[in-house]
């Protein structure tokens, strides 16, 4: 056990504490199984020595006690009848062993699944609380590996590893006790050979720890690669990268294969050694046992040699299996290390706020806010911004100016470096996260839909939202007829990421999802880009409905969509360079907004005057 990472093992065992009844049940069946398993060779020994071999009747005092106890209680009458009773006893013991094995395996596996169920739920809840920055740095495929295959490997610690090892160790101890009771001299011969297999097992376990660590690393790399390529398959095919990506996959797959080959190599070396040592031990027992009998040793009998044949198998087979089960333990502990690494990560959004409000007015204020995704690469450089309740502001600027960063900070997806962000004159850190995010709704350019019905994507399984409310909201923003035109209407399955819908249709569902949540603050991030004219018309109507009577922040490259905003904020390189209404900004000589507007206007005019054939 020394080669295991004890800290991770102790943490796992803490999760087993709530399931004490199952733990005690597993312990009971493990002890019962070990005792029952050791009785079969003893009964066989009695049968052979009492009814088949009459030359040697002397045994040691302790053995006589066991033999007489069984003989006097269970064996009375003629020899034929006694043999039948002994056979019946052996059959009964075998039956009890099967029953004990069943309950032991079933309950230990059940306990393992109960434990990983708790860990899996805790892991998912922990991941759901992380800052978005964490997901910027961690591959999704790696996290999927942690949540699925690593968790299953942890389950195998209990179902195939730890309790099985404990059971095997108990069985070996019971077997040694029976062997010492029956014939201590022959047992000493067995014990002289045992250090060889123990040393080999220790070396094997250390090597397997390293090998399994490499395997888990390569599995994570493989999952990450496959997940990314399957998600971006359109790009792979569009740019004819199939062969290139295949070569990359072959390289990663080769490393994965190489890591597993080490595992196979160590197994191929260890298990034949274990078999050879077991065979040598059996041969020595038969050889010296025969010598003892020939030389007139009355404490050694043929029945003992035959029973020792079974005991050696029962002693070495668990020892051989312990090494195999130790492999399972190693994989489970390595997986646990990785899972606990996430569980102990400090990447959660701090939710220390205590203010819970059912409805906010929507006054927003940024006071000298500075922020950087990476150290020494500041994105926002002292932003001061005020948005009044029910006001609609638009933020424009070149790519990388910091527009989207502002709304990410408002939602507390990231934590600011310095400054303050206030809503209704209260620091957003003082609100509970639930309150803050309930009061802010976002419609993004890249709308994410789950592989489910449109209705569930709108309500996000909020049972407090009734179907009639969804219908009414859809009619108000003008998308009800469109949704009803789809097969099965609101119950239409959009499949993974909403692939069954166009980008414009996904945007409309996102608008309805935002509207039904009735937020105090609405954020539209490039919500009208890259869509057809029909969808844009519906979205424009939806925008007017959504922004009415609530604080709205619109981020847009297409300036024609925000000319009616109450205030337009122009950003460049992390600072606000201009601020005002559309008519005011287009009048500024050499202004940023004027240049942006004229550039878009000229492109639009060129398109209509000189269309592409």
Chain-wide mean pLDDT for the chain? 80
Quote the pLDDT of residue 556: 79
Instruction: Find all residues with CB under 8 Å of 28, minimum gap 6, and list them.
Output: none
Using the predicted structure, report yes or no on whether residue 40 has a pLDDT greater than 50.
yes
CB 307 within 8 A of CB 223: no
pLDDT tens digits, 175-216:
888 888 888 888 888 888 878 877 877 777 777 777 777 887
SS3 109: helix
How many angstroms separate the CA atoms of 336 and 579, rounded? 53
Which strands, in side-by-side order, build the sheet including 364-374?
A: 377-387, 364-374, 418-423, 426-427
How many angstroms separate the CA atoms of 570 and 285, rounded? 91
Residue 561 has phi, psi (to 5 degrees) of: -85, -10
CB 216 within 8 A of CB 335: yes
pLDDT tens digits, 575-606:
999 999 988 988 888 888 888 888 776 554 44
Quote the pLDDT of residue 4: 45
SS3 442: strand
Residue closest to 558 by CA, chosen among 504, 597, 605, 505 = 597
SS3 147: helix
CB 593 within 8 A of CB 419: no
CB 177 within 8 A of CB 38: yes
More confident call, 76 vs 201 = 201
Mean pLDDT check: name the lowest of 480-484, 538-542, 553-557: 538-542
Q: Which two tokens stand for residue 270?
A: 């260890």
How many angstroms separate the CA atoms of 84 and 73, rounded? 15
Residue 239 has phi, psi (to 5 degrees) of: -100, 20
CA distances from 328 to 31, 158, 218, 298 (A): 22, 10, 17, 46
Residue 31 has phi, psi (to 5 degrees) of: -65, -45
Q: How confident is the model at residue 77 (pLDDT cuts 50, 70, 90)?
A: very low
How many angstroms separate the CA atoms of 454 and 460, rounded? 10
**Which stretch of DSSP H or E encloses residue 553?**
strand 551-555
For each of the domains in the chain, give its residue range(s) and CATH number, in order of start: 19-343 (1.20.1560.10), 364-609 (3.40.50.300)
Helices 79-128 and 302-343: crossing angle in degrees, nearest 10, is 10
Quote the pLDDT of residue 5: 47
Return the DSSP state at 195: H
pLDDT tens digits, 252-270:
888 888 888 887 887 777 7
Dihedral over Cα of 560, 497, 148, 236: its sign: negative
More confident call, 134 vs 254 = 254
Q: How confident is the model at residue 44 (pLDDT cuts 50, 70, 90)?
A: confident
Using the predicted structure, report yes or no on whether residue 2 has a pLDDT greater than 50.
no
Residue 579 has phi, psi (to 5 degrees) of: -155, 135
Using the predicted structure, report yes or no on whether residue 333 has a pLDDT greater than 50.
yes
CB 190 within 8 A of CB 281: yes
SS3 38: helix
**Which stretch of DSSP H or E encloses residue 45?**
helix 20-51
Mean pLDDT calculated for residue range 389-405: 87
Instruction: Find all residues with CB under 8 Å of 32, minimum gap 6, and list them.
Output: 96, 100
Q: Which two tokens stand for residue 597?
A: 């507007």
Quote the pLDDT of residue 55: 43
Quote the pLDDT of residue 81: 46
- Residue 601 half-sphere exposure toward CB, CA atoms < 13 A: 9
Quote the pLDDT of residue 51: 65
Q: How confident is the model at residue 111 (pLDDT cuts 50, 70, 90)?
A: confident
More confident call, 611 vs 401 = 401
How many angstroms separate the CA atoms of 284 and 504, rounded? 82
CB 221 within 8 A of CB 251: no
Q: Which residue has the tokens 């250390």?
A: 206
How many angstroms separate the CA atoms of 119 and 337, rounded? 13
How many angstroms separate the CA atoms of 62 and 226, rounded? 65
CB 172 within 8 A of CB 315: yes
Mean pLDDT check: name the lowest of 44-48, 372-376, 602-606: 602-606
Instruction: Find all residues with CB under 8 Å of 572, minimum gap 6, and list them.
Output: 397, 398, 401, 592
More confident call, 356 vs 4 = 356
More confident call, 527 vs 255 = 255
Q: Which residue has the tokens 């080669």?
A: 3
Residue closest to 412 by CA, chosen among 393, 386, 436 = 436
DSSP states of 355-390: B--S-----EEEEEEEEEEETTEEEEEEEEEEE-TT
Mean pLDDT calculated for residue range 395-414: 87
How many angstroms separate the CA atoms of 307 and 285, rounded? 11
pLDDT tens digits, 444-479:
877 888 888 989 988 888 888 889 999 998 888 888
Residue closest to 382 by CA, chosen among 198, 206, 575 = 575
**End-to-end C-alpha distance for the chain, whole angstroms:** 74
Instruction: Find all residues with CB under 8 Å of 575, minimum gap 6, and list them.
Output: 381, 382, 383
Using the predicted structure, report yes or no on whether residue 533 has a pLDDT greater than 70.
no
pLDDT tens digits, 168-186:
888 888 888 888 888 888 8
Using the predicted structure, report yes or no on whether residue 422 has a pLDDT greater than 90.
yes
Within 10 Å of residue 268's Cβ, how many Cβ atoms?
10
How many angstroms separate the CA atoms of 310 and 308, rounded? 5
Quote the pLDDT of residue 503: 78
Q: Which two tokens stand for residue 516?
A: 């039904």
Using the predicted structure, report yes or no on whether residue 374 has a pLDDT greater than 60.
yes
SS3 labels along 270-328:
HHHHHHHHHHHHHHHHHHHHHHHHHCCCCCCCHHHHHHHHHHHHHHHHHHHHHHHHHHH
């Amino acid at each position: 056990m020394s080669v295991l990472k004890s800290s991770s093992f102790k943490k796992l065992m803490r999760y087993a504490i709530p399931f004490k009844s199952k733990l005690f049940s597993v312990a009971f069946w493990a002890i019962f199984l070990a005792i029952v398993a050791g009785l079969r060779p003893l009964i066989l020994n009695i049968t052979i020595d009492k009814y088949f071999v009459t030359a040697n009747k002397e045994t040691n005092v302790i053995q006589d006690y066991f033999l007489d106890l069984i003989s006097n209680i269970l064996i009375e009458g003629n020899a034929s009848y006694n043999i039948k009773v002994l056979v019946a006893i052996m059959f009964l013991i075998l039956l009890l062993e099967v029953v004990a094995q069943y309950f032991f395996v079933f309950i230990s596996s059940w306990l393992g699944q109960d434990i990983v169920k708790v860990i899996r739920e805790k892991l998912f809840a922990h991941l759901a609380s992380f800052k978005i920055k964490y997901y910027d740095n961690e591959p999704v495929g790696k996290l999927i590996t942690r949540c699925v295959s690593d968790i299953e490997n942890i389950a195998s610690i209990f179902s195939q590893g730890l309790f099985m090892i404990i059971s095997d160790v108990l069985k070996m101890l019971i077997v040694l006790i029976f062997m010492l009771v029956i014939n201590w001299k022959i047992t000493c011969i067995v014990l002289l050979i045992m250090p060889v297999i123990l040393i080999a097992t220790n070396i094997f376990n250390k090597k397997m720890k390293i090998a399994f660590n490499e395997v888990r690393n390569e599995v994570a790399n493989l999952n990450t690669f496959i997940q990314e390529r399957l998600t971006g398959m359109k790009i792979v095919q569009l740019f004819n990268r199939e062969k290139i990506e295949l070569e990359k996959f072959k390289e990663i797959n080769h490393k994965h294969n190489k890591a597993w080959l080490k595992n196979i190599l160590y197994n191929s070396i260890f298990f034949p050694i274990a078999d050879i040592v077991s065979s040598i031990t059996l041969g020595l027992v038969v050889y010296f046992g025969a010598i003892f009998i020939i030389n007139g040793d009355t404490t050694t009998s043929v029945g003992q040699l035959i029973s020792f044949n079974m005991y050696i198998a029962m002693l070495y087979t668990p020892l051989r299996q312990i090494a195999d089960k130790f492999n399972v333990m190693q994989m489970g502990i390595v997986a646990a290390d990785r899972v606990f690494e996430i569980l102990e990560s400090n990447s959660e959004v701090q939710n220390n706020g205590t203010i819970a409000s059912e409805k906010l007015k929507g006054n927003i204020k940024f006071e000298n806010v500075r922020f950087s995704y990476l150290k020494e690469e500041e994105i926002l450089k002292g932003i001061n911004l005020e948005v009044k309740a029910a006001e609609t502001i638009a933020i424009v600027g070149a790519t990388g100016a910091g527009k989207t960063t502002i709304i990410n900070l408002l939602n507390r997806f990231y934590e600011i470096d310095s400054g303050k962000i206030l809503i209704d004159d209260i620091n957003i850190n003082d609100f509970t996260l639930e309150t803050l995010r309930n009061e802010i709704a976002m419609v993004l350019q890249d709308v994410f839909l789950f592989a489910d019905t449109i209705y569930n994507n709108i309500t996000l399984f909020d049972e407090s939202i009734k179907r009639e409310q969804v219908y009414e909201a859809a009619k108000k923003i003008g998308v009800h007829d469109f949704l009803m035109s789809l097969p099965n209407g609101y119950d239409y399955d959009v499949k993974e990421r909403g692939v069954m819908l166009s980008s414009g249709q996904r945007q409309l569902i996102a608008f309805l999802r935002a509207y039904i949540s009735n937020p105090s603050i609405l954020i539209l991030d490039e919500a009208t880009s890259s869509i057809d004219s029909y969808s844009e018309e519906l979205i424009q109507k939806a925008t007017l409905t959504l922004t009415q009577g609530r604080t709205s922040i619109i981020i847009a490259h297409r300036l024609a969509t925000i000319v009616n905003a109450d205030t337009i904020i122009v950003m460049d390189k992390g600072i606000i360079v201009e601020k005002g209404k559309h008519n005011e900004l287009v009048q500024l000589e050499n202004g940023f907004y004027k240049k942006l507007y004229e550039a878009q206007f000229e492109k639009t005019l060129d398109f209509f005057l000189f269309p592409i054939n």
